[in-house]
Structure 1
Amino acid sequence: MSPSPSRIPLGIACVMGGIFSLTVSDTLAKWLGHIYSPMQIVFLRGGIATLALLILAGQLGGRQALLTSHLGVHLLRGALNVLTAYCFYLSLTFLPQAEATAIAFSAPFFVTIISVIFLKEKVALAGWLALLTGFAGVLLVVRPSPDHMQWAALLPLLTALGYAVMMTTARYIKAQESMLTMMLYLGVGQAVFAGPLSAWIWVPVQAEHWLGFAGIAFFSTVGLGLITQAFRVAPASIVAPFDYSGLIWATLFGWVIWHEVPSTWFYAGALLIAGSGIYVALFSGRNKT
């Protein structure tokens, strides 16, 4: 059954709002990442978000938000989110924000590969050519050479892989589950999996940084919730290309806040990544109609 056309603008608005929220969260994490371990940031992000969402759930009806028939899927998504967030936050301490974001936007290519291997979907030759073009764009951004290549460039690639798996699992959660339930279990998963890993590298939080951690918790949870909701209410082939608005925000924030000026190689690679990703999304969407 085709989705209602009236829900498509909602899906686009959700994904664009979600991407902007995640960029704000990433910017705060880049700031705090020079003081605290990425794993501690992930744990506090999940812990603060869980407390806030539990309070919100109590105000909006209580137990209903806690009910789910997909606990295993939620826990898997929480573990994947810890992995992806840790890798990306760590990459932000070594790479410019725009560069790390551009590499992480190779996620649509992993979504396609996952769909072929595990969901037995078919991809035409043009689709594979688009994937290779996007990979070429990643190479332009990374520029692997003895003089330029950084191991940190592998971190946003791992982020992209984990993000692709996490977004793919959204289709296994029934549409009847509310966005509040989705966000709550994501926060719980972050706290449960990141807590033990952050205990041995814990750094006491300075009073002036609590607001920053609260901002990371708020914007990351809302961002992931909005993006997940977008994939649930509208076709992925329509909403996925709007992910690339994040390249604009990451470049702008990196320039204004961190005075990071991307190279010409970055713009060329980002254009290839975004263009091929948009093509893959639209091309796969036409194949399914």
Structure 2
Amino acid sequence: MREQNLRAGILLMIAVSFIFAVQDALSRHLASEYNTIMVVMIRYWFFAAFVTAIAARAGGGLRSVVRTARPGLQILRAVLLVSEVCVMVLAFVLLGLVQAHAVFAAFPLIVTVLSGPILGEKAGWRRWAAVMVGFAGILVILRPGTGVFTPAALIPLLSATLFALYSLLTRYAARYDPPETSFFWTGVVGAVLLTPAGLFLWQPMAREDWGWMLGLCVASSLSHYLLIRAYDVAEASAIQPFAYFQLVFSVAIGVLLLGEPLHPLTALGTAIVVSAGLFTFLRARQKAVALEGSDDTG
């Protein structure tokens, strides 16, 4: 039964990764035509309605889900995620899916760097060596000091940093609130934060683009629903490495459908970053399993 659940969790995570890649391509298309804040705001409206519907069906109803022990922490998480989404969509417009995702792949390494000061977690020399190798891969992708480097290439690195902070604070919030509470606050607070600026920057949207916008909203909600299901049937630590399929799918969409170039050094740097990220993740998981084993025997 456990093996079947793991297989289902892996398949769900791969499906989520594909939908995320499609979602990114739709965001890139719409933000190329309209204001980024407006596009993200409409997506968040749909997302907020989705998380509210999920919360209303939870045990104890909406009131129990809304209740949080750390409202300031939940608001900060939402601000970080809203900022990350807007920055990353801007990166898609300026750099394309391939280059943006190649740099964003560094976020697990940034999590390792920041997990000490934020969560008090300690990383051994192997993980720190992997972090150094991973950031060397980032330098291969960015190629500073050459004619191909542009300051815009740092935008997805900022997005990766914001997402790493959001991920760490989500783990911290789990000490005080259940996952459904964090999920609700992420969607609703994000929509509230974006609405004033999004309405101020509103642009009339062509009829055909409303179809793409609906597709983006549906993809966003479906991906989050499947992600919840994936974590429900399998341990997050076991299926998280398969989230890297999003990079594979995004590169495929960028190259095959959008005509984006894939430079050999970008591919090499991405392989280095992903390998380092997987190593740090697996080392962290091994350490967690070892600690659980010592607790059980103790």
Q: TM-score, normalised by structure 1?
A: 0.86
Q: Which residue of structure 2 lines up, in the alignment, with residue 213 of structure 1?
A: 213
Alignment CA distance shift 1:173-1:61 (3 Å): closer
Task: Quote the Cα distance in structure 1 between the aligned partners of 2:227 and 2:109.
Answer: 17
The percent identity for this pair of structures is 25
For residues 30-69 of structure 1, the aligned pairs below 5 Å read 30-54=28-52, 60=57, 64-65=61-62, 67-68=64-65, 69=67
1-side partners of 2:211 and 2:44: how far apart?
14
The amino acid across from 2:118 in the alignment is: F
What residue in structure 2 maps to residue 79 of structure 1? 79
Q: Which residue of 1 aligns with 2:129?
A: 129
CA deviation profile, 1:217-250 (whole Å, cap 9, x unmatched): 2222333454466567755543332121112101
Indicate conservation of the 8 Å contact 1:88/1:159, yes or no.
Answer: yes
What residue number does 2:174 align with? 173
CA distance in 2, matches of 1:230, 1:166: 20
Q: Does the CA contact (< 8 Å) of 1:19 and 1:227 recur in 2?
A: no
Which is worse superposed, 49-58 or 156-165? 49-58
Asked if 1:241 corresponds to 2:238, the answer is no
Q: 1:122 is matched by which residue type in structure 2?
A: K
| Residue 138 (str. 1) matches residue 138 (str. 2) | yes
Shift of the 119–209 alpha-carbon distance from structure 1 to 2, 3 Å rule, reads same
Structure 1 residue 37, shift from structure 2 partner: 1.4
Aligned-partner Cα distance in 2 for 1:22–1:57: 22
Question: 1:263: how far off?
Answer: 0.7
Measure how far apart 1:178 and its partner are: 6.7
Q: CA shift at 1:201, angstroms?
A: 2.1
Q: Distance in 2 between matches of 1:27 and 1:156?
A: 15
For residue 121 of structure 1, what is the amino acid of its counterpart? E
Q: Which secondary structure does the structure 1 equivalent of 2:33 belong to?
A: coil
Work out whether residues 237 and 284 of structure 1, in 8 Å CA contact, stay in contact via their aligned partners in 2: no
**Alignment correspondent of 1:99:** 99
Equivalent position amino acid for 1:41 in 2: V
Cα pair distance change 1:284/1:174, threshold 3 Å: closer
Displacement of 1:62: 9.6
Aligned partner of 2:267: which letter? Y
Q: In 2, distance between residues paired with 1:258 and 1:216?
A: 17
1:149–1:227: structure 2 CA closer, same or farther, 3 Å change rule?
farther
| Offset, 1:56 | 6.4
2:19 to 21, 42, 53: 21
Which letter does structure 1 place at the counterpart of 2:61? Q
Equivalent residue, structure 1, for 2:276: 276
**Hey, what's the Cα distance between the residues in 1 that align with 2:12 and 2:76?**
23
Q: Any unmatched runs of 5+ in structure 2?
A: 291-298
Offset, 1:115? 1.2
Letter in 1 for 2:206: Q
Q: Is 2:163 the counterpart of 1:163?
A: yes
Gaps of 5+ in 1: none
Question: Number of residues paired by the alignment?
Answer: 284
- Between structure 1 and structure 2, the one with the greater Rg is 2
Point out the more displaced range, 233-242 or 28-37. 233-242
Cα 1:110–1:5 change in 2 (3 A) is farther
In the alignment, which residue of structure 1 is the partner of 2:296?
Answer: none
Partner of 2:89: 89
Root-mean-square deviation (CA), in Å? 2.8
